[in-house]
Chains A and B, each alone.
Chain A
Amino acid sequence: MDRIPILRMGEFLLVTIQVDMHDQLALTLQDDLTAQITRTGARGVLIDISSLDVVDSFIGRMLGSIASMARLMNAETVVVGMQPSVAITLVELGLTLHGIRTALDVEKGMALLRASAAGRRRA
């Protein structure tokens, strides 16, 4: 069974979704990611969905719940590279993903994670 790879970069986890998401894959990702956060003690999760062209309400909701789960485990989630069509679809579906942080590309997302991690360390 195929899985979405989760890469570790310092104290952050990097997930790049490059295949069409189906429901089982999304659930597996949810399991894997939460397990990885515990194992590595990651402070941030970066999900790159720039090659995702189509979303449905399930995937949208899944992104939201991954973020909530990660926050419970003291890691912040940033979703980067959302396509315009995907953004429009999610808004039309009423899924505005409150509580998720977003960035235009991986670089900006990483900067965001680093800044917030630095802020938390200072606090």
Chain B
Amino acid sequence: MAVSLTHLPRILERHGDALLADWIREQLQAKSRTGAIKEGELREQCAEFLRLLREATAKGGTSDVSRPEFEPLRELLANVSRSRGVQGFSPSETAKFVFSFKRPLFMRLREELGRDAVALADETWAVTELLDELGLLTTETYQKTREAVIARQQEEMLELSTPVVKLWDGILALPMIGTLDSNRTQVVMETLLEKIVETGSEVAIIDITGVPTVDTLVAQHLMKTVAAARLMGAECIISGIRPAIAQTIVHLAIDLGNVITKANLADAFKTALDKRGMAQVPGR
């Protein structure tokens, strides 16, 4: 095996430029979204890949890409697939960056070793294994990049969806939007309670107009929030109970206890003002 390993760096050395040209042509032909990446950038990435591959294989052989000699090459691939993941390439398009190198390389191998069938087979196998490993590496990094994007978006949504607004002196409103799960309720509860302390508000209106469904779990979460606010000395009003939700609550026999509920935010606000002892100008 050790003998056949010496061929790859030599071939890369001798045919470097031709390989590069073939490889780039291959990619430009295959790619459906040629416009997405500039040819100059592609050429740069490919040339860098060839150079690092030559260095790595000359020192570290072709059998194991986790060797320290392959470190710079792995880094380059990680960078390439990361940037492509962010640019919106599909996973197969990203992996093709490596796989499209096979055809030009195998053509050179055949030219070089065509007369020695055993050596050609050995070398082809070794190179295939190496490139497959590298290809998998790009896919893995691509996946990780996408997962990071998703995680960040989830976090942003969590932050976005729980604003606590001050409506009046001593009155807070919490417009809830989207499905409530335990994770979100926890965040909602914490922000609401902290805001109650911060502003010294005695009344908090939880508006669930934007909550698509209310089941027993959601109701339980709401009750917990109301109970916690009450323990701190603030009263909660739940508003935005749509007809469908009112029906569900009754059908599920959910006991909302002695929580004040209102059909819309305006009514809840009026009740809150009454509680604060503020008279409104009637009939406006």
Contacts and interface: CB of A to CB of B under 8 A. Distances in A.
Interface string B225-246: 0011111111000000000000
B274 to A, nearest CB: 15
Nearest to A102: B233
Interface of B: 189-190, 193-194, 196-197, 200-202, 224, 227-234
Most chain A CB inside 10 Å of its own CB: which residue of B189, B230, B232: B232
A54 interface: no
A91 to B, nearest CB: 5
The 7 closest A-B pairs by CB, nearest first: A84-B193, A102-B233, A103-B233, A87-B228, A87-B231, A104-B233, A96-B227
B232 A84 contact: yes
Interface SS majority for chain A:
mixed
B224 A82 contact: no
Contact of A84 (B190, B224, B227): B190
A103 B194 CA distance: 15
A88 B233 contact: no
A108 B190 contact: no
B184 to A, nearest CB: 14
Contacts of A20: none
A109 B232 CA distance: 11
A106 B2 CA distance: 83
Interface residues of A, number: 20
A90 interface: yes
A66 interface: no
Contacts of A82: 231-233
Contacts of B202: 104, 108
Given A84-B190, A87-B193, A91-B224, A105 B231 contact: no
Given A88-B189, A91-B224, A104 B232 contact: yes
